Copies of this chain bind each other. A is one copy, B any other.
Amino acid sequence: MNRRTGRRSGESTARDDILEAARKLFSNNGFDRTTLRQVADSAGVDPALISHYFGNKRGLFVAAVEFPSDPAAVLEPVRTCPLDELAATTLRQILQVWASPAGPSVIARFRQALTGGEDELVRDLLTSVILAPIRERLRGTGDDLDLRLTLFASQVAGLLVTREILALPPLRAADIDALVAAVAPNLQRYLTGAITQ
């Protein structure tokens, strides 16, 4: 029992050191240009310990930004749904997170990041984590993939701002089915429709 308590406390310190180093490096250098080795060196731990705690770089990133929900698990259905249901499937999963017990923390974190000068963290979270499964599904389907994904992100971010932060009454009142019916066709157009003149 004593040994267990002792180990936990030691683990907790190393884990915190890793998270602190990761936060600094991700903020300064972004997701792509940060390596697990850099984080390990900066935290003074073995890289294997990072894998042990966080799995991989995405897991470390999610933990570092204190994202209170695991995007990989949330977005699992996106990996297998039909391509023409990509938008509806993703949107439904995201709306369900906002309505879940983790919702308030997700929203508070987004709001805080927008004003705390953590733009780069949110940008990386969006592009490297949340949009990654959609990018995976659409790889090789055509040009403009980056533009399509960021247009998609713009509508989702806008829903978060207007429904969850500003709480515009008609959007607050709409249930998830109604929102998916109203918004998913627009999101799907961004992903697979004609978006140029």
Contact = CB atoms under 8 A, between A and B. Distances in A.
Interface string A141-184: 00000110111011111110111011111110010011001110
B114 A183 contact: no
A145 to B, nearest CB: 9
Interface of A: 111-112, 114-115, 119, 122-123, 126-127, 146-147, 149-151, 153-159, 161-163, 165-171, 174, 177-178, 181-183, 185-186, 189-190, 195-197
A195 B166 contact: no
A139 to B, nearest CB: 16
Nearest to A185: B189
Given A186-B189, A189-B185, A168 B196 contact: no
Contacts of A151: 171, 182-183
The 7 nearest A-B residue pairs measured at CB? A158-B158, A115-B115, A154-B158, A186-B186, A147-B170, A154-B162, A181-B197
A117 to B, nearest CB: 11
Contact of A157 (B115, B127, B162): B162
B170 A146 contact: yes
Contacts of A158: 153-159, 161
Contacts of A146: 169-170
Contacts of A189: 185-186
Given A181-B196, A186-B190, A190-B186, A154 B165 contact: no
Nearest to A180: B197
